[in-house]
Homo-oligomer: A and B are copies of this chain.
Amino acid sequence: MPDLRRDPITGRWVIISTQRAHRPQDFIREPVRIKGGPCPFCPGNESKTPPEILAYRPEGNEHNGAGWKVRVVPNRYPALEIEGQLDRQAEGIYDRMNGTGAHEVVIESPEHGDTYATMPERRIEDALFAFRDRVTDLRKDTRLKYVLIFKNHGEGAGATLEHAHSQIIALPIVPRQVVEELKGARDYFQLKDRCIYCDIVHQETRSPVRVVLENDNFLVVAPYAPRFPFETWIIPKRHDSAFENSPADYFGGLARAIKTLAAKLDAVLDFPAFNMVIHSAPVHDHPTEHYHWHVEFMPRLTKVAGFEWGTGFYINPTSPEEAAKFLRDAKVKA
Contacts and interface: CB of A to CB of B under 8 A. Distances in A.
Interface of A: 1-6, 8, 10-13, 15-17, 19-20, 77-81, 84, 91-99, 148, 150, 152, 155-158, 171-173, 175-178, 180, 196, 199-200, 203, 207, 224-225, 227-228, 273, 275, 277, 296, 298, 300, 304-313, 315
B305 A309 contact: yes
A304 to B, nearest CB: 5
B172 A4 contact: yes
Give the interface centre of A8, A15, A157, A300 by most chain B CB atoms within 10 Å. A15
> How many protomers of this protein does the assembly include?
2
A4 B97 contact: yes
5 tightest CB-CB pairs across the interface, nearest first? Answer: A158-B306, A2-B99, A177-B312, A175-B313, A6-B95
B298 A309 contact: yes
Given A158-B305, A305-B158, A306-B158, A173 B13 contact: yes
B15 A79 contact: yes
Contacts of A150: 307, 310-311
B96 A4 contact: yes
A225 B95 CA distance: 9
Given A15-B80, A296-B310, A8 B99 contact: no
Given A93-B196, A277-B310, A19 B78 contact: yes
Contacts of A307: 150, 152, 157-158, 275, 277
A179 to B, nearest CB: 8
B94 A224 contact: yes
A232 to B, nearest CB: 12
Contacts of A227: 309
Contacts of A310: 150, 177, 275, 277, 296, 298
30 contacts: A2-B80, A3-B96, A3-B98, A4-B173, A6-B95, A6-B96, A8-B93, A10-B176, A12-B176, A13-B173, A13-B175, A13-B176, A92-B203, A92-B207, A93-B196, A93-B203, A94-B203, A94-B224, A94-B225, A148-B311, A148-B313, A150-B311, A155-B304, A158-B305, A158-B306, A176-B312, A178-B311, A275-B306, A277-B307, A305-B309
Given A94-B6, A175-B312, A176-B11, A152 B306 contact: yes
A15 B99 contact: yes
B311 A277 contact: yes
Contacts of A176: 10-13, 312-313
Contact of A20 (B77, B98, B275, B315): B77
A51 to B, nearest CB: 18
B94 A8 contact: yes
